[in-house]
Amino acid sequence: LDAETYRHDAVAAVEGAENATELDEARVRYLGRKSELKQALREVRDRETGMALNAAREAIEEALTKRQAVLERAELDRALTEDIVDVTLPGDELPLGSLHPITQVRRIVEDAFLGLGYEVRDDREVETVEYNFDKLAFAPTHPSRSHRDTFFFDDTHVLRTETSPSQIHALEEREPPIYMVSLGRVYRRDAITATRYPIFHQFEGLAVDRGLTLADLKGTLLHVMRALYGPERRVRFRTHFFPFTEPSIEPDVSCGICGGKGCRTCKWSGWIEMGGAGMVDPRVFENVGVDPEDWTGFAFGCGLERAAQLRHDIPDIRVLWEGDLRALRQF
Amino acid sequence: MRVPVNWLRDYVPLEMPLDDLATRLSISSAEVEGIERRGVPDRDGNLGRFLVGRVVEAVKHPNADRLQLCRVDVGDEEPLQIVCGAWNFGPGATVAVALPGAVLPGGLELERRKVRGELSNGMILAEDEVELGPDHTGIMVLDDSWEPGTPLVDVLPIVDDVLHVEATGNRPDLLSVYGLAREVAAIYDLELAPPPGVEPTLGVLESEPVDVEIEDPVGCPRYIGRLFRDVQIGPSALWLKARLVAAGMRPISNVVDATNYAMLALGNPLHAFDFATLRGGRIVVRRARPGEKLRTLDGVVRDLTPDDLMIADAERSVALAGIMGGEETEIDDSTTEVLLEAANFEPFTIFRSSERLRLRTEGSNRWEKGVDPYLAQQAATLATQLIVELAGARWVGHTDVHGELPERPVIGYRPEQADRLIGVETPADDQHELLGRLGFDVDDGRVVTPTWRARDVTREVDVIEEVARFRLEDVPFTLPERSAMFGSLTRGQQLRRRVEDALVGLGFVETYTPSLLPDEETPWKLEEPISVELTALRTRLLPSLVEAARRNAEVGERGIALFEIARVYLQGDELPDERLHVAGIMEGGFGAVKGVVETLHAALKAELEVERAEDPLLHPGKAAWTPAGVFGELHPGVLEGTWSAFELDLEELFQRSREPVIYEDVITYPAVKQDLAFAVDDDVPAGELVAAAREAAGPELYDIVPFDVYHGEQVGPGRKSIAFRVEFRSPDRTLTDEEAAGLRQKIVDALRERFGAELRA
C-alpha cells in the first residue's frame, strides 16, 4: 500500500464529505477495521513502513476531526436559523417598583450639596415655639405665629412651618464653619387645593463661615438649580423679607417651558419662584452665641414638591399625595 | 395691595413701560404679581367712542313710561337721539356717552338700534357700566365745565392699570399708594410730589375742645381727634369712587370713603364716628372691661377681654381699636356730626386681638406690621380736606394726644461693610445717594432712618439691605472659599437609600401619605385641625398604606405593592419621639411578605429574628414580630383579598446591620454540606430547632436553613418532617469526616432531647 497515495485519497474523501453520514462512510472506508490501511498495518514488518502508515493514519484522523467540527458547526448554524422567537413580544414579567418623585428630587438635591461639601441632615417635625419662631427672630406679630396659619398642639408646640429650625439645631450642635442641608416635612394651615397641601417638603441650606457673601449664595443656588433643572437655567434674586435673614431675597429660576420668554407656567414673567434665602441675620447668631462680627452666613429654603412638579410637569400637587399607582408607576 | 396706576401718577411721573416698572419694583421693593388692565378696552379706537355729552332735550319716551327720549350734544353739528332708562337728570345735564360701536368693559358692543320704536344712537352711561363704581340707580352727571365732545378718558379714569403689589411684612409703608410712589421715585431717581392732603382752615374762629383720653399709652401712642359739623352724608364724588373701586374697596358714603381713601393713599387706617352717638361726647382709649361686649360693623357680637384695646365713649366701648368699628356709632345717612380718628396703635396689641377674635381687616393688617406714628398727622389732614370738600362739612375741633414719639434711629454705617456682605462693590458716594433718595439722612459715618422705616431699619445690616436690594442684578455668581468640607452621607442615610432601592427592586412603588390621621391614640392632637382627616399625628404608617392600597384596588389596579418611609410620632416627653419607619403593603400571603422582610435584612446584612406576634391589623395566626417591627398577612377584616404588610423601625434595622461587612475566608478550607431531616410535633417552630442546633454545634455549624416541611403518613398524625440544609466549616482547617459526623451527632442529640425530634435522613 502506498501510504502517501492512501493518505491523499482519504483526506480528499473526508474533506469532500457533505454530512455526517458521508463522513462516517469515509471513516469506515479509510480507517475502519476492514480498511486497507488497517490490514496493511497488521501486516507491517519493518519500522519504516510502519512509521509511514501511522503518519498517514494520524493525518486522516486529524482531517476527520476537523471536518467533523466544520460539519457540526454548519449543522448548528442551520438548526439555529430555524429556532426563531418573536423579539417584539414582552419578556418575563419581573417586579420593578419606583421611587416617588419627591424622593428622586430629594436625592438630586442631597447629591448636589454633597458635591458642594455639605452635610445632609433632618430634624424633628414637632417643634417648640422657641425653635420654630423665637430663636429665628420672628417678631411677636409675625403672621406665621397665628393659629390661623400654623398648626399648634398647645401654646408652645407646633408642627414646624419650615425647615429653618434646622439652622438653630445645626448652630447649637457645632462651632462654625457649618455647611449643611436639611430636608423634610413641614406643615402650614392651608386648605387642600391643586397648588397647596398642608403638608409638604422643603430643603433648607445653611452655610456659616468667614467672609461669605450674597454672591456666594447666588453661585450656590445656581449650582443647585442647574442640578435640578438643567445647565441652561439662570437664577435671579428679588428682595424679600424673612425674620432670620438680612438682607433677604427670593431666588427665581428661569422658566424651562418657555426659556424665559413668558408662558402660562411662569405667569408670563419668564421666571419661577423657588423659595426664600438671604444672609443670616445677626440676631440669629446672637441667639445661638455666634459672633456676627466674626462669622457670616447664608441660608435658603425651597420646596421639594415644587421641584418635583417642575421637573415632571405635574400640574396638581395632590398627585404627589394620593398614592395612585397609575400616577406613581410613571416615575 | 391693588395700586391703580392713574393714582400713582399723582405722586410720581411715570414714563417708563409698566412691564419695566413691575420688574424693577419686584426686584428691589415688593413683588408685582400682575398688572391688571381694567375699564374700557383700549383698542381699535374704542376710547374715541366715549365722549362727554350735554343733554339738549329730555322727554318721556312716547311708547314707554320708564324711558326718557333724549337729544344729546356730543360736539357734532346734530345732537344724537338716545333712549335712556334713568331719570336723575334733565336738559342741560353734562353726561357721559358711549357711541354705537363702543365696546363696554364686559365686552358688550353697542349698536344703533330701535328701543320701543325710537332710534337710540348709543348710551348715556352709569358708573357701573364703565367700572367706575357700583351704582346703577342713575347715570353719571358730570361737572358742567366739560365741553361736549371732550374725550371721556380726559375726564374720568375709564381705563386704568392696576398693579397687584405684594408688600413684605417689614414694609407697611408700601401698603399705600404714596409709599409705593416714594419707592418708584427712588428706583428711577424721579421727583416725588409732596404727600397728599392740604390742611383746610378751621371752620370756626377757635377750635372746639375734643375730649380724648388715652388710658393705655402703650397700646395707643397717639390719637388725633377731629370734629366736624354740618356734615352732609351722600355718595362720594365719581373720581374718588373710581379710585376706591380700582383699589378693590367698595364705596360706602363720602365720609367713610374719605377715611378709606386716606388709608390707601398714605397707609394710616382711620375711623369716623357719628359724634352724636358718642355718650358724653368723649373718647377714651382703654382696655376692655371683663365681660364687656361689642357689636362690630359686621353685625357680630364680640366677647371682649382685658387684652383687647378699645375705643370707648364715656360709658361703653364703641370700637375695637384698629380692627373694626362698632355698629351703634357707625356713620349713616342721618349723621350730621362726625368725629374723625387718626390714631396710632401698637402692633402686638392689635395682633393679639385680631388673632383671638379671628378677625383680620385692612386696618389690623397694617397696624400689625407697625405704622409710622408720625403719619397720623398727614392722614388726618388728607381726610379732613376730603370731608370738608366732599361732604360740605365744617371742621370745628382738633386734638392730638400723644406722649413722646419715637426718635429716628441713628446708625453707625460703614459702606465698605456693605461691599463685604453683598459681594459686589458699590462706591460710598453711590450708597449715600441711594440712601438719600429713600429718605435716609447720611452724614459722617452715620445714617438716620426716616420715620416710616424706623421699625425695620435699626442696625447696620438693615442699611446694607437697603443698598443690596438695588444691586441684586449686579451680584456675581461665586462659591465660598472653603476651609472645611462635610460632603458625605451618614451610615443611616446610606442605608436608607439601600432600603429604598431594595424595595424598588422587589417591585414596590414608593408613596407618600399624610402624617396626620383622623384619630389616633396619641397626646399629639392638633388644637385646630383644618379637617377631621388630618387631626392627630400618626403612630404608625400601615393604616395610611392600607387606605392607599384600598383606593388602588377600587380603581382596578393589580399587582399592588406600595411602600413608604416616613416618621411616626410616639408619645415622648416634652416632644414626641419621632422615629423613621419603613412600611409596605402588597398583594399575597405570609410567605410573600416574609420573603420581602428577609430580603430587606439580607440587603442590609442584618440578621432576622422572628417570633409569633399579635397585631390588630394582622391575621392572628400569620403575624410576626422582629426587633425592628412587625409583619404578616393582613387581617381579612381590614382589606378584602389576601394582602400582607410590614412596618419596621429604620434605626432598629440599621443597628442590626453588619455594614460594613467583615470578610471571612470561606475558600481556603472547604465546607462539609449535608441535608438533615427531623420529625417533630407540629407545634414546634423551625426557628427553635435552628436555635437549638446552633447552640449544640457551636461556631463550626456555619449555616443551617430549613428548606422543606412535609406532613403525611410517613411521619404520622400531629407530626411534621423538616429538612435542613446544613453547612459545617472551620476557619483554620478542613474538617475531617469524623469531625463532621461528631457535629451532626451533637445536633441530633440536642434536638431529640429538647423536642423529641427523630432523625429521618
Could you report the predicted ipTM of this complex, rounded to two decimals?
A: 0.89
- Interface probe, candidates B24, B37, B477, chain A, greatest A C-beta count within 10 A: B477
Nearest to B506 among A95, A125, A248 (CB): A95
Task: Read off the pLDDT of residues B441-490 as tens digits, 9 standing for 90 and up.
Answer: 998 899 999 999 999 999 999 999 999 999 999 999 999 999 899 999 99
Task: Read off the pLDDT of residues A186-221 as tens digits, 9 standing for 90 and up.
Answer: 999 999 999 999 999 999 999 999 999 999 999 999
Label the pairing between strands B324-325 and B509-510: unpaired
Residue window 443-462, chain B: list those with CB within 8 Å of chain A.
459, 461-462
Tell if the CB–CB gap between A238 and B27 is shorter than 8 Å. yes
Could you give the 3-state DSSP secondary structure of residue B208?
A: strand
Task: Read off the pLDDT of residues B376-396 as tens digits, 9 standing for 90 and up.
Answer: 999 999 999 999 999 999 999
CB B751 within 8 A of CB B743: no
Task: Read off the pLDDT of residues A61-83 as tens digits, 9 standing for 90 and up.
Answer: 999 999 999 999 999 999 999 99
Least confident of B278-287, B378-387, B711-720: B711-720
Q: Distance between CA atoms of B608 and B658, rounded to whole angstroms?
A: 12
Distance from CA of B312 to the nearest CA of A (A): 25
Kind plus residue range of the DSSP H or E element containing B362: helix B362-369
Q: Distance between CA atoms of B281 and B515, rounded to whole angstroms?
A: 57
Distance from CA of A127 to the nearest CA of B (A): 8
pLDDT at B756: 93
Task: Read off the pLDDT of residues A310-325 as tens digits, 9 standing for 90 and up.
Answer: 999 999 999 999 999 9
Average pLDDT for residues B688-707, to the nearest whole number? 95
Vertex B311: Cα angle to B306 and B316 (nearest 5): 75
**Which residues on chain B are in Cβ contact (under 8 Å) with A192?**
531
- pLDDT(B553) > 90: yes
Residues 6+ apart with CB under 8 A from B162: B2, B3, B4, B5, B35, B36, B38, B246, B247
Nearest to A325 among B528, B529, B557 (CB): B557
pTM of the model: 0.88
**Which residues on chain A are in Cβ contact (under 8 Å) with B421?**
213-214, 247, 279, 296
Closest CA relative to residue B646, chosen from B538, B520, B562, B554: B562
CA–chain centroid gap for B519, Å, is 26
pLDDT at A121: 95
- pLDDT(B206) > 90: no
Distance from CA of B665 to the nearest CA of A (A): 34
CB A159 within 8 A of CB A126: yes
**Which residues on chain A are in Cβ contact (under 8 Å) with B497?**
107
**Which residues on chain B are in Cβ contact (under 8 Å) with A146?**
355
The proportion of chain B whose per-residue pLDDT surpasses 90, expressed as a percent, equals 95
- pLDDT(B21) > 90: yes
Tell whether B359 is within 8 A of chain A (Cβ).
no
Average pLDDT for residues B157-186, to the nearest whole number? 96
pLDDT at A265: 82
Nearest to B487 among A118, A147, A214 (CB): A118
Task: Read off the pLDDT of residues A15-47 as tens digits, 9 standing for 90 and up.
Answer: 999 999 999 999 999 999 999 989 988 888 889
pLDDT at B123: 95
- pLDDT(B761) > 80: no
Q: Distance between CA atoms of B143 and B156, rounded to whole angstroms?
A: 11
- Strand runs labelled E in B258-372: 271-274, 282-287, 293-295, 301-303, 309-312, 317-320, 324-325, 338-344
Task: Give first-to-last CA distance, chain B, whole Å.
Answer: 87
pLDDT at A131: 97
The pLDDT-based confidence of B687 (bands split at 50, 70, 90) is very high
Of residues B716 and B745, which shows the higher confidence score? B745
Tell if the CB–CB gap between B472 and A238 is shorter than 8 Å. yes
**Which residues on chain A are in Cβ contact (under 8 Å) with B537?**
126
pLDDT at A260: 86
Q: Copy the grid coordinates of residue B118.
A: 325710537
Main-chain phi, psi angles of A93, to 5 degrees: -80, 115
Tell whether B141 is within 8 A of chain A (Cβ).
no
In single-letter form, the type of residue at position B592 comes to A
Average pLDDT for residues B736-755, to the nearest whole number? 95
Average pLDDT for residues B623-644, to the nearest whole number? 96
Distance from CA of A22 to the nearest CA of B (A): 50
Distance from CA of A267 to the nearest CA of B (A): 9
Q: Distance between CA atoms of B171 and A209, rounded to whole angstroms?
A: 30
pLDDT at A2: 87
Average pLDDT for residues B333-337, to the nearest whole number? 96
- pLDDT(A267) > 90: no
**Which residues on chain A are in Cβ contact (under 8 Å) with B187?**
none
Distance from CA of B147 to the nearest CA of A (A): 42
**Which residues on chain A are in Cβ contact (under 8 Å) with B489?**
110, 114, 120
Q: Which of A141-145, A204-208, A257-261: highest mean pLDDT?
A: A204-208
Mean pLDDT of the residues in chain B:
95
Average pLDDT for residues B90-97, to the nearest whole number? 95
pLDDT at A103: 98
- pLDDT(A1) > 90: no
